[in-house]
Amino acid sequence: MSILERFSLNHATTKFWDQREAVEACAETGSGIGLWREPVHQMGLAETAKLVRDAGVPVTSLCRGGFFTDPTAEAIEDNRRAIDETAELGAPTLVLVSGPIPEGGTIDTAREGVAEALAALAPYAAERGVTLAIEPLHPMFASDRCVVTTLNEALDLAAPHPADAVGVVVDTYHIWWDPEVWNGIARAGAEGRIASFQLADWITPLPAGVLTGRGQLGDGCIDMRRYLEAVDATGFDGPIEVELFNDEIWARPGREVFDQTRSAFERVLT
Amino acid sequence: MSILERFSLNHATTKFWDQREAVEACAETGSGIGLWREPVHQMGLAETAKLVRDAGVPVTSLCRGGFFTDPTAEAIEDNRRAIDETAELGAPTLVLVSGPIPEGGTIDTAREGVAEALAALAPYAAERGVTLAIEPLHPMFASDRCVVTTLNEALDLAAPHPADAVGVVVDTYHIWWDPEVWNGIARAGAEGRIASFQLADWITPLPAGVLTGRGQLGDGCIDMRRYLEAVDATGFDGPIEVELFNDEIWARPGREVFDQTRSAFERVLT
């Protein structure tokens, strides 16, 4: 089996590429796709669901829910809608980015908010056959985007809930620096919590716009093959998404980026 | 006792302020000072040592050694010189920033290099009465500046060596995001390894030049008082350095920044 059979395009890699064209390219190449809520809403949920179903393209995740460090009724309600959308798209997983430190709070109170939100959402997700995937983001985003920063922290947050309701995202870009990362991956696998596996590379120097400086696979310092081996060693054999937030990549034609990304994926993983 | 009696100016906060004027301001206010090797070399080691001795200003640390992820003979030799300088300045502590991932290496091999370098340097430091202080830096610097990213990792690296030879730096700016930070501080204290305590705040949004975007105390999201309580709860009662790498602060007159920093220090810690 070629590693390319596990390739899934996270649509954010080709952020400005029409969703329909992206799905068609995935169908043609036997790839999966990770979708984002905004383009799905733009096309319409039912029409997107029909598009991927007719094309036979598996939706490997929906991005993203979360932003519930202040778990207001609106935040919970929006995440319930995101769970419904995930189910309607036939995707197994909703990716959760936890959100920032709320006004007047601290990172500790924000983390309590995340735990509270998960408790409110996990049963709803389980009923609909959706796994919530807590994504630890790189600590440089800890104040304004995601207070969850390590795999072990994500696993601790997931622990009170069944593994089919709450798992974690293993995204190389966000966790590669962590001295506990190999233990974290082994633990995530042993606990059955690897709900999504995503790749992006860390390039040096860090681009000025840190949000959109994720490197193409092979352009940075992350040993992708070692991550593949570590994740697979836990028994995981699911799809592998490539998710690159990168201004230069976004400026190029979607199909060109798609083909180049598949090539890079094959090259770094074999 | 006023908290200001523990204030120490890390000279990097007033990077372009003449070292002599900085020492004089510290003498006048009963402050300590953390010195940097470059300005010390510029003034001359013996002259700097005389300056601080005559002024009665305690040198709370010398910054910095390290950059030994590829522990070549030159790197070790340079660190031996830094240890000698620390001793001659009468400072208890040499701060170590570990360095980048070397060409052709990985973060794991780089970490092995750090362990090797520490083994080569610890006995030399102990002989000269200098404590090497391993500083975990924020993970956004993990590829190009410091492969050591958490207090627990720094403590694991210190563990093979006597606590008076190898300790760690607790710097709020670098570790505030870590879900294990309170455990890490308690462990560092219990193991007698807190060799330096430094403050800087994390501001949002992260400035584009991430190296020089550390916030004045109180301008960001870090609960400084909680850090003081956590560090002091271990029995630590040493000096507290303020170390701000910040382009806007550097552009202002040194004495103005000095006074403002002391005020901010007193305000956030009492």
Query: 3-class secondary structure for A204-233?
Result: CCCCCCHHHEEECCCCCCCCHHHHHHHHHC
Structure confidence by residue, pLDDT tens digits, B142-171: 999 999 999 999 999 999 999 999 999 999
CA distance, residue B206 to nearest chain A CA (Å): 8
Residue A101 has pLDDT above 90, yes or no: yes
For chain B, the average pLDDT equals 97
Query: Taking CB atoms and an 8 Å limit, are B139 and A140 in contact across chains?
Result: yes
Could you tell me the CATH superfamily of domain A3-269? Divalent-metal-dependent TIM barrel enzymes (3.20.20.150)
Nearest to A150 among B138, B179, B210 (CB): B179
Q: Strand pairing partners for B214?
A: B202
Whether chain B has a CB inside 8 Å of the CB on A152: the answer is yes
Of B82, B90, B79, B61, nearest in space to B119 by CA? B79
Structure confidence by residue, pLDDT tens digits, A170-223: 999 999 999 999 999 999 999 999 999 999 999 999 988 889 999 999 999 999
Query: Taking CB atoms and an 8 Å limit, are B138 and A138 in contact across chains?
Result: no
CA distance, residue A37 to nearest chain B CA (Å): 25
Nearest to A140 among B106, B147, B206 (CB): B206
Whether chain A has a CB inside 8 Å of the CB on B64: the answer is no
Nearest to A205 among B101, B138, B144 (CB): B144
Which pLDDT does position A208 carry in this prediction? 81
Which pLDDT does position B210 carry in this prediction? 86
Which pLDDT does position A225 carry in this prediction? 98
Nearest residue on chain A to B157, alpha-carbon basis: A179
Q: Strand pairing partners for A208?
A: none
Structure confidence by residue, pLDDT tens digits, B41-90: 999 999 999 999 999 999 999 999 999 999 999 999 999 999 999 999 99
CA distance, residue B153 to nearest chain A CA (Å): 7
Query: Taking CB atoms and an 8 Å limit, are A179 and B152 in contact across chains?
Result: yes
Angle between helices B73-88 and B107-127 (to 10 degrees): 40
In the DSSP assignment, the letter for residue A147 is S
Whether chain A has a CB inside 8 Å of the CB on B177: the answer is yes
Helices (H), B130-238: 151-158, 172-175, 181-190, 224-232
Query: Taking CB atoms and an 8 Å limit, are B139 and A144 in contact across chains?
Result: no
* Three-state DSSP class for residue A7: strand
Whether chain B has a CB inside 8 Å of the CB on A144: the answer is yes
Partners of A149 on chain B (C-beta within 8 Å) are: 177-179
Phi-psi region of A112 (alpha: psi -120 to 50; beta: other; left: phi over 0): alpha
Nearest to A204 among B143, B202, B205 (CB): B143
Structure confidence by residue, pLDDT tens digits, A42-77: 999 999 999 999 999 999 999 999 999 999 999 999
Which pLDDT does position B209 carry in this prediction? 82
Query: Taking CB atoms and an 8 Å limit, are A208 and B208 in contact across chains?
Result: yes
Q: Where are the domains of chain A?
A: 3-269
From chain B residues 77-96, the ones with a CB under 8 A of any chain A CB are: none
Q: Indicate the residue type of B258.
A: F
Query: Taking CB atoms and an 8 Å limit, are A144 and B223 in contact across chains?
Result: no
Partners of B184 on chain A (C-beta within 8 Å) are: none
Integer Cα distance of B52 and B56 in angstroms: 6
Structure confidence by residue, pLDDT tens digits, B207-241: 888 899 999 999 999 999 999 999 999 999 999 99
Answer whether A201's CB lies under 8 Å from A220's CB: yes
Helices (H), chain A: 19-29, 37-43, 45-55, 73-88, 107-127, 151-158, 172-175, 181-190, 224-232, 247-250, 254-269
Q: Which two tokens stand for residue B123?
A: 């006995």
Q: What is the ipTM of this complex?
A: 0.96
Nearest residue on chain B to A105, alpha-carbon basis: B221
Residue A79 has pLDDT above 80, yes or no: yes
Q: Give the mutation candidate from A144, A149, A168, A177 for the B interface (greatest B CB count, under 10 A).
A: A177
Q: Give the mutation candidate from A103, A106, A143 for the B interface (greatest B CB count, under 10 A).
A: A143
User: What is the DSSP track for B211-241?
Assistant: GGBEEPTTSSS--HHHHHHHHHTTT----EE
Partners of B143 on chain A (C-beta within 8 Å) are: 177, 202, 204, 206, 220-221
Partners of B157 on chain A (C-beta within 8 Å) are: none
Structure confidence by residue, pLDDT tens digits, B88-116: 999 999 999 999 999 999 999 999 999 99
Nearest residue on chain A to B207, alpha-carbon basis: A208
In this structure, the number of other CB atoms found within 10 A of the CB of residue B259 comes to: 13
Whether chain A has a CB inside 8 Å of the CB on B176: the answer is yes
Query: Taking CB atoms and an 8 Å limit, are A221 and B179 in contact across chains?
Result: no
> In this prediction, what percent of chain B has a pLDDT beyond 90?
97
